[in-house]
Amino acid sequence: MTHASTTDALIAEMVRATAAPDAFAAIRTKASNTIARYTATFGAPTGPLDVDALASFLGIARSDERPGHSKDAELVPIEDGRVSIRVNPDRPETRIRFSTAHEISHTFFPNYQAKTWCRTDARFRNRNNPDDLLEMLCDVGASELILPAPWFIEDAAKVSTAVGLVGLAKRYVASREATLRRFAESHERSLSAVFFSWKLKPTQKQTIGNLKQTSLFGIDPADLALQSKRLRLDYSIPSPKFLKTGAYLPPDKSIENDGPLYMAASTGQPCDGECWLDLGRLAGTYRVLAIPVWTDDDDLGPNGENGVGAIIEPIALNPSGKKASHGDHRLFD
């Protein structure tokens, strides 16, 4: 049995055990059942869920060792068939909380004690790869744990601005990215969470910034690579209703240096606005709630800009694909 098929089997067994219609529904069921057991013992949370207390409640130890194979966290087997979580203490508190919840979610799969599980970068996952899919499922489980229903859903329904999204993240001591994901996944309206980072387009990666090549104008290759970065789409998380529309946002599409997405990235402040989005048959004007997200120094834009996440919601669709002319911004090239 190959490693991929083994991972497939772990996912399939979790789905079978929960009788859920798919793997995403199964991991949500596992997480919600865990929250129900925890609150039945300690009562409903009056503030952010204590993920360390939750791990202890589940019999998961917390190690003082740093993760050896991940920038964020990992779940490692220890004695007596138990497991321990190693977390990078240098990460922001919100990232530590999410990483801890992510590793807890690994225990929702069978045979989780058999190996070390390492949290990977969400930007480089391929859903068709079973290992990446399992990591994506653990992110979904983590969101369910740190942003639990029904409390988060009730609070999210009251949010209508980018500033409100930031406040929601602070209330739950959750990362802005996790909050946006959960906001979209649990919302009843047709909207999507989108995430952008500063990077080169795939065709540029082999030609720009290559230290073995010399620029025609004597520009340092590293500087050329930095100045060539654009704010490009990493991935999107649609709400259930938005998903039914069939909308697809291809990765690596870039935005121009204007509009609410760029303004949030460049100013470091939440930004609201209406703008044109070319989404094929769902092209039209969208409401955008954009907020800057935590960004590694190496991933900042040419002028120190942050990565950005946003909630986008269609206002007026224009299937003809013709851009409105009265002050709208075309975000995708």
**pLDDT of 201-258, one tens digit each?**
777 766 665 545 555 555 666 777 777 888 888 888 899 998 887 767 777 777 777 7
Is pLDDT at 299 greater than 60 in this prediction? yes
Q: What is the CATH number of domain 3-146?
A: 1.10.10.2910
Which tokens hold the place of 49? 């869920």
Distance CA 290, CA 98 (A): 21
Spatial neighbors of 110 by CB under 8 A, at least 6 apart, are 10, 13, 14, 17
Report the percent of the chain where pLDDT is more than 90.
54
Where residue 17 falls among pLDDT bands split at 50, 70, 90?
Answer: very high
pLDDT at 283: 67
Distance CA 104, CA 138 (A): 8
pTM of the predicted model, to two decimals?
Answer: 0.80
Superfamily the domain 151-317 falls into: irre protein (3.30.450.130)
Name the residue ranges covered by the structural domains of the chain.
3-146, 151-317
316: helix, strand or coil: strand
- Taken in order 296, 302, 306, 307, the sign of the CA dihedral is negative
Is pLDDT at 327 greater than 50 in this prediction? no
Beta strands in 152-297 (DSSP E): 192-199, 230-238, 271-277, 284-293
Where residue 330 falls among pLDDT bands split at 50, 70, 90?
Answer: very low
pLDDT at 259: 83
Distance CA 111, CA 88 (A): 24
Q: Is 99 exposed, middle or buried (0-12, 13-18, 19+ CB in 10 A)?
A: buried
Q: Position 52: which residue type?
A: D
Report the percent of the chain where pLDDT is more than 70.
84
Averaged pLDDT for residues 12-31? 95
